[in-house]
Amino acid sequence: MNHAFHVVIPARMGSTRFFGKPLVEIAGRAMVLRVVEQALAAGADSVIVATDHDDIFKCVTDAGYLAHMTDADHPSGTDRIAQVAVEKGWHDNDIVVNVQGDEPAIDPALVAAVAARLHASSDSVMSTAAHALSSAADFLNPNVVKVVLDDDNRALYFSRAPIPYPRDAMRATGGEPLTALPHDLPALRHMGIYAYRVGFLKQYGQLPVSILEQYESLEQLRVLANGHSIAVHVSDAAAAPGVDEPTDVALVEAYLQVRGGC
């Protein structure tokens, strides 16, 4: 069954690592437009680019899509999305998916699945996604964020540390790095996509910052630390590559070419 949801794509011009990133061309098309088109293919009721820059606004609207000007001083993309939800007058029970503006190859099915997961979890204020980890190197890599779930696929904790910790397997290495994961270890890599109920999105900016969030540098821990539930969709596939820095453009173009997306 399909459920209604909105997509908001935060897109800032002033990325510290890659200025002007939303407008960089991916196989001849501005990246932000590719993100919009993937989100529309997910079946969203509306797809809106939330930006603080006239050039991004013009690029999106000239292509016939929706953009919304937001304040320049928002501390996070989540706050930018909240401004759009408030100014659009969306109902507190409406669902908004945050699709990052540097994900031009994101799978539309993943966007729809994260929204559906939140629809199905009435006790959760937001949802996200994860996929199974098979690489010991990724499991040990602090740049790869892990998540552990309860029996109803709600997040218990997110961490840069290797969780759940395979004590016996780690002991057996004699202090050497783990080279293979136990076959039944429920190791999951967090995927950076979120859906929110609008009512919670309005409250989010007022939540106290958690000491856990500060140490792990993971914003979603603020939600758990304040007693809220995050539902998790477990995907069969890893996330498509995104664009963090200029060298990633060629990687994404190659990925799209293999999948016929150029």
Give the rounded distance of the alpha carbon of 221 from its chain centre: 14
pLDDT of residue 205: 87
Is 53 part of a structural domain of the chain?
Answer: yes
What is the pLDDT confidence band of residue 2, given thresholds at 50, 70 and 90? low
Percent of the chain with pLDDT over 90: 88
pLDDT at 145 over 60: yes
Residue at 153 is within a domain: no
Q: What are phi and psi of 221, to 5 degrees?
A: -70, -20
Q: Does some domain include residue 92?
A: yes
Give a yes or no: residue 143 inside a domain: no
Q: Is residue 134 part of a domain?
A: no
The residue assigned the tokens 């680019």 is: 49
pLDDT at residue 17 is higher than 80:
no
The residue among 159 and 176 whose pLDDT is bigger is: 159
User: How many structural domains comprise the chain?
Assistant: 1
Asked whether residue 1 carries a pLDDT value surpassing 60, the answer given is no
Q: Identify the weakest region by mean pLDDT among 21-25, 83-87, 150-154, 256-260.
A: 256-260
Q: How confident is the model at residue 247 (pLDDT cuts 50, 70, 90)?
A: very high
Please indicate, yes or no, if residue 33 is contained in any of the structural domains: yes
Asked if residue 106 lies in contact with residue 35, where contact means CB atoms within 8 angstroms, the answer is yes
- Tell me the average pLDDT across 127-135: 97
- Whole-number Å distance between alpha carbons of 12 and 50: 8
68 falls within a domain: yes
pLDDT at position 120 is: 97
In the block, tokens 């990052």 appear at: 100
Question: What pLDDT is recorded for position 13?
Answer: 87
The pLDDT tens digits of the residues spanning 154-168 come to: 999 999 999 999 999
The 10s digit of each residue's pLDDT in 40-94 is: 999 999 999 999 999 999 999 999 999 999 998 888 888 899 999 999 999 999 9
Average pLDDT over residues 193-218: 95
Domain boundaries, position 6: 1-106+240-261
Distances (CA, A) of 93 to 63, 199, 226: 30, 6, 20
What mean pLDDT comes out for the span 204-208? 91
Is residue 194 classed as helix, strand or coil in its secondary structure?
strand
Whichever domain contains 49, its CATH number is 3.90.550.10
CA distance 219 to 157: 12
Res. 208: pLDDT tops 70 = yes
Residue 262: per-residue pLDDT: 60
Mean pLDDT of the chain: 94
Task: Answer yes or no: is 227 within a domain.
Answer: no
